[in-house]
């Protein structure tokens, strides 16, 4: 049995990873800034990635660390680079044998601040003396309603023009992370890229979401400006030949709308 510490274990991907690890019969600790949730099979431990407080205790006896942390805002971005440095330095001192990071497909080709911060986080892992693996994934299925739902309240549902997605289910992402974390041999491949099972236009995905959820509103094609728009229109968010996921967007919709 392997003891895995999941940083970001209460987030979108982290929660699925915790479920996957427990289903495989392994022990899990979830690192949080606020400490425990007693009485559950999941052990929550206190630790602050940015200050380093509590990390030594949280990592005591841990075999593998998986980092699914996020920091999309300027206020939370320090968790990506400073947090990664503190986590890996402490993990190395604690005798952790492997660290796995969840990142984003072609993050090194993005010119906007969030992707640059994620790339700095990757570099921390690349330079660590630990056995490290970076798993880059395409956008989660959840990304589509995250964009489409808020403006639907005023009768408009945007679909990014001239944009395609190869979205992936977080349950599939969790499988890839668990596979990397639990491998018994030293990683032969330090960068793994995974994508969803199909490529579809933004409009196609938005229309499917609208139908499945019964949402009312007019779907309109909107140009996405700036560096992110250029990145998506160039197809840098896709992972040709790296299909890993088996859960399609339509299946995800069926699962989430009937839950």
Q: Using one digit for the tens of pLDDT, what is the confidence trace for 162-210?
A: 999 999 999 999 999 999 999 987 766 799 999 999 999 999 999 999 9
Query: pTM of the predicted model, to two decimals?
Result: 0.94
- pLDDT, residue 139, reads 97
**Tens-digit pLDDT profile for residues 126-160:** 999 999 999 999 999 999 999 999 999 999 999 99
Domain made up of 3-258: CATH architecture: 3-Layer(aba) Sandwich (3.40)
Q: Which residues contact 224 (CB under 8 A, 6 or more apart)?
A: 160, 161, 163, 232, 233
Taking only the tens place, the pLDDT of each residue in 73-132 is 778 888 998 999 999 999 999 999 999 999 999 999 998 899 999 999 999 999 999 999
Is residue 67 within 8 Å of 75, Cβ to Cβ?
A: no
Look at the block and give the residue holding tokens 């579809």. Answer: 200
Q: 145 near 206, Cβ under 8 Å?
A: no
Of residues 37 and 207, the one with the higher pLDDT is 207
**64 in Cβ contact with 131 (< 8 Å):** no
What percentage of the chain exceeds 70 in pLDDT?
A: 96
Place of tokens 């995250």: 146
* pLDDT tens digits, 43-56: 899 999 999 999 99
pLDDT at 39: 46
């Amino acid at each position: 049995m392997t003891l895995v510490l999941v940083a970001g274990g209460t987030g979108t991907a982290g929660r699925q990873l915790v479920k996957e690890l427990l289903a495989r019969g392994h022990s899990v600790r979830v690192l949080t800034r606020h400490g425990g949730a007693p009485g559950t099979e999941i052990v929550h431990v206190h630790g602050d990635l940015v200050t380093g407080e509590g990390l030594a205790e949280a990592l005591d006896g841990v075999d593998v660390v998986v980092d699914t942390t996020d920091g999309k805002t300027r206020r939370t971005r320090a968790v990506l680079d400073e947090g990664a440095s503190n986590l890996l330095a402490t993990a190395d001192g604690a005798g952790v044998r492997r660290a796995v990071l969840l990142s984003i497909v072609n993050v090194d080709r993005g010119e906007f601040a969030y992707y640059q911060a994620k790339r700095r986080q990757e570099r921390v892992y690349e330079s660590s003396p630990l056995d490290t693996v970076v798993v880059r994934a395409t956008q989660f299925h959840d990304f589509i309603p995250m964009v489409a739902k808020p403006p639907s309240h005023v009768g408009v549902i945007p679909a990014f023009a001239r944009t395609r997605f190869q979205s992936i289910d977080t349950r599939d992402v969790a499988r890839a992370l668990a596979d990397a974390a639990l491998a018994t041999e030293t990683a032969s491949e330090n960068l793994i890229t995974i994508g969803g099972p199909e490529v579809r236009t933004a409009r196609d995905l938005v229309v499917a979401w609208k139908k499945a959820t019964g949402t009312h509103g007019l779907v309109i094609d909107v140009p996405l400006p700036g560096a992110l728009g250029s990145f998506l229109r160039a197809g840098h968010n896709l992972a040709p030949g790296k299909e890993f996921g088996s859960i399609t967007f339509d299946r995800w919709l069926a699962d989430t709308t009937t839950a």
